[in-house]
Amino acid sequence: MSAYPHAAATTTAAVTAVPSATTGSEAGDPCCAAPLPVLGRDVTVPLVTGGEVTYAALDYAASAPALQRVWDDVAAYAPYYGSVHRGAGYLSQLSTDLFESSRVTVAEFLDCRPGDQVVFTRSTTDSLNLLAAALPAGCEVFVFETEHHASLLPWRDARVTYLNAPRTPAQAVETLERALADRDPYGPALVCVTGASNVTGELWPVRELAAAAHAHGARIVLDAAQLAPHHPVSVRELDVDWVAFSGHKLYAPFGSGVLAGRADWLQEADPYLAGGGASKKVARRTDGGVDVEWHTTAARHEAGSPNVIGVYSIASACKALTEAGFDSLVAREQHLVATVREGLAEVPEVRVLSLFGDEAPRVGVLSFVVEGWNSSHFAAALSAEYGIGVRDGLFCAHPLVRTLLGSDPQTQGECGAPDAAPGEKSLNAIRVSFGAGTPDEHVERFVRAVKELVRDGAQWKYRTEDGRCVPDRG
């Protein structure tokens, strides 16, 4: 119980106020109104062709805008901000209560098991690097080449088996089972897999992969960076050992992330960072050195002053998503996915990228290429001429995008992709992504813009500047 119940109630009052799921001018129609208002929904941006338009933020897969609810909660807490842990003052005690109650909220959001630890980090990347640093000696890691670099690259100090891109969910399970069957059955092993691709948005068979891992004596960590904002994530039901995600993709862009799951490997590993907070007791030795007793709780890997605002923002977002109801959020998002897919299907020059096929279930993330266009040029025109923000490139998933595009390179357009490898100047794609804060108008404008650009071409000239395709204003 809080040491300062009155103050805690003051700072958490906003969290208990549930926003209407039908907020907006189209309240009453769940297929039109964005159910969770976000910051920036009324921001206008200039068009290179003249005038202004409300900005359509369709790059949620990179960083989702902050929920209005999260912003309000953080603003309500900010005057009470204080140092976390060990402080005797009123604000310090209150902030500590808020920090630790946020840990409980995240554990509930993820449906963690008794004994699981929730460690607060900076991001998904930080979480997976933390786990990589905690691997037992001799651990072998299995990871598909289709992973985001955050889950593909941290394992460089372990024995890593990179698995080829599967073309069906069943093939993913079969590929993993074959690889695990050939490993040393007595050594530790870890499987790392995404829940939803940051390139195609496709859902991966996490529960089946977890069953395969456990059947062969391996553990599994779920990269839920793209899954948690769109679908409920239950550690128990999926039977994963750990889950990692970022606040900035969960409508809480304040620099925090989460690694949640089994405590044993984390407790047995050296602290991820050495310093205050991770240490329980430090004493000088007679030989001039120091002896350190490290915490065995989550604090072991949370050295330094915690980012209490970032942590609280994640907890606020978890509450907002839970209270809005994932069933309704998923249903509405699938309406938006269908709008985009049906619209793009009407343009023969557009090819949507997919590993598992057109009918594979996916979250609100789609990548595509347009015949006759370089993707950087196309994305620049969407921004400059329509006020639509999307992403172009290889999306920090280079092996996957090259697998999807390698046999069908794009035609060189007006602007190049300067970061591509030699011989791959046009090998990049366009990604559109959305979520609970996206109104229908944004995806409808996007579909209209794609059709107009393919039919009529860009209205403006563009050039490459500092690695980006930009309007030529000269």
- Distance separating alpha carbons of residues 171 and 368, to the nearest angstrom: 23
- Distance separating alpha carbons of residues 98 and 418, to the nearest angstrom: 46
Specify which residues 468 forms β-bridges with.
465
| Complete DSSP assignment for 300-338 | GG--SS--HHHHHHHHHHHHHHHHH-HHHHHHHHHHHHH
From the list 260, 429, 418, 249, the residue with the least C-alpha distance to 353 is 429
Pick the catalytic residue: 31, 112, 139, 396? 396
From the list 474, 468, 458, 456, the residue with the least C-alpha distance to 386 is 458
- Distance separating alpha carbons of residues 200 and 430, to the nearest angstrom: 11
| Three-state secondary-structure class, residue 38 | strand
Strands 350-352 and 56-57: unpaired
Strands, sheet with 429-433, edge to edge from the N-terminal-most edge strand: 350-352, 365-370, 429-433, 391-393
Give the C-alpha distances (Å, rounded to integers) separating 180 from 158, 161, 169, 429, 441.
16, 10, 17, 33, 47
- Distance separating alpha carbons of residues 442 and 432, to the nearest angstrom: 11
Instruction: Dig out the tokens for 149 from the structure.
Output: 């670099």
Q: 469 an active-site residue?
A: no
From the list 341, 337, 336, the residue with the least C-alpha distance to 351 is 341
Sign of CA dihedral 389, 223, 209, 396: positive
Q: Which helix (H) or strand (E) holds 365?
A: strand 365-370
In terms of Cβ atoms closer than 10 Å to its own Cβ (0-12, 13-18, 19+), residue 133 is middle
Active site positions, annotated: 396
